[in-house]
Amino acid sequence: MRVAAWVKLLWQSGARIHPSRIGMAIVVSLCTPINEGLWLLQRLLLHRKIKATPLRQPPLFILGHWRSGTTLLHELMVLEPSRSSPSTYQCFAPHHFLVSEWAFTRFGNWLLPSKRPMDNMTAGWDRPQEDEFALMNLGLPSPYRWLAFPNSDPPDLNYLDWQQISPAAEQRWVDRLRYFLQAVTYRTGKPLVLKSPTHTGRVRLLAKSFPGAKFVHITRDPRSLFPSTCRLWRSLVEVQAFQKVDPDRVRPYVVECLQRMYRAFHAGIAELPADQVMQVRYEDLVADPVACVESIYQHLDLAGFEQLKPLLQQWVTDHHRGYQANRHALPPEDEAMIREAWSDYFERYGYV
């Protein structure tokens, strides 16, 4: 983050930092002036070139709730050499990655674990990442700001369903997203595959802002989604938050996020032609990744599957043999609660 975004985050949260996290807050405070300087350097050197960089194609967006398989699908789709995606470093340093990435990724690998804590998938600065983190670090409103101060009221939930967003705020959000994607394209020169669960409820806006964009939406049994997402948020705030999270805040947050996202998603997706959207199930993806990805390419009329197919087959050989998804025990009272709160998701996607 730059200085202004960090100060705004502290101000809006009341700077209620747990004593055990003061050291982390000091480190962030010391890093923000560095980010400011690197941002200025990149802007002076490359701003005009970034602004002049066209997107190679309208983006392909992967949509779906957290823990529904969006990360797995994202990683499989970007195996194709002709496609690219924002990397973890680019999303966490969106202001200046073009001038700093070469040094940080060479000498800063020790700052990231080799595996993600929530699911043991490979982590690294060069791995595909959610562009929502870039938007948050650029100072835009984002539900992910809740991760910093999880004991405060969840911020920016209207950015999940795009309700009551002023035209000026919408234009600012779209402009910053586009500029970030232009910077990534300047680096890679390739069409982009983007993945952020937060984009699920923004499908109408994304289709309007990026004409010709295509969407892949993935679903998963809510009886697995709910406990897995609760575990995700708890694992993230445990290492990233400036507070010790109150466990009672996580469950209602998970419930409300899905409700908001999917009301907006279903309204937006109804306006798009069928050949612009592909629906897949997590259960089918893990059962046969190659066939599932091939069906996406065929339905959306994407080029490049012949180049991707052997890479997928090799990935299955190297990583997927004997794969078992995490099993989550769901207490009966929790299942009854989400069956009522998420009844439309259960029924619409056939998870009876």
Closest CA to 292 of 219, 344, 228: 219
- How much is the pLDDT for 123? 59
Contact status, residue 220 vs residue 68, Cβ threshold 8 Å: yes
- How much is the pLDDT for 314? 94
- Helix axis angle for 22-51 and 97-107, nearest 10°, is 130
Contact status, residue 60 vs residue 214, Cβ threshold 8 Å: yes
Say if residue 271's pLDDT is above 70: yes
Say if residue 107's pLDDT is above 70: no
The share of the chain scoring above pLDDT 90, in percent, equals: 81
- How much is the pLDDT for 326? 57
Residue 211 falls in which region: left (phi positive, over 0), alpha (psi -120 to 50) or beta: beta
What is the DSSP secondary structure assignment for residue 143, as one 8-state letter? G
- How much is the pLDDT for 80? 94
Architecture of domain 3-348: 3-Layer(aba) Sandwich (3.40)
What is the DSSP secondary structure assignment for residue 214, as one 8-state letter? E
pLDDT, one tens digit per residue, over 10-39 is 988 888 999 999 999 999 999 999 999 999
pLDDT, one tens digit per residue, over 330-350 is 899 999 999 999 999 999 999
- Please give the structure tokens belonging to residue 28: 């962030």
* pLDDT range class, residue 325, cuts 50, 70, 90: low
CA 337 to chain centre: 26
- How much is the pLDDT for 120? 52
Average pLDDT over residues 46-69: 97
Say if residue 9's pLDDT is above 80: yes
Residue 215's H or E segment, with its range, is strand 214-219
Helices (H) and strands (E) in the chain, counts: 16, 4
Mean pLDDT across the chain, nearest whole number?
Answer: 92
Put the strands of the sheet holding 214-219 in their side by side order: 193-195, 60-63, 214-219, 277-281
pLDDT, one tens digit per residue, over 186-241 is 999 999 999 999 999 999 999 999 999 999 999 999 999 999 999 999 999 988 89
Residue matched to tokens 């560095």 = 34
Domain segments of the chain as ranges: 3-348
pTM of the model: 0.92
> Which residues, in sequence order, are CB contacts of 199 under 8 Å at separation 6+?
61, 63, 132, 206
- How much is the pLDDT for 102? 82
- How much is the pLDDT for 110? 47
- How much is the pLDDT for 328? 62
Ranking 52-56, 79-83, 243-247, 287-291 by mean pLDDT, the lowest is: 243-247
Residues 16 and 144: their CA atoms lie apart, in Å, by 17
Say if residue 315's pLDDT is above 60: yes
Say if residue 311's pLDDT is above 90: yes
Residues 244 and 217: their CA atoms lie apart, in Å, by 34
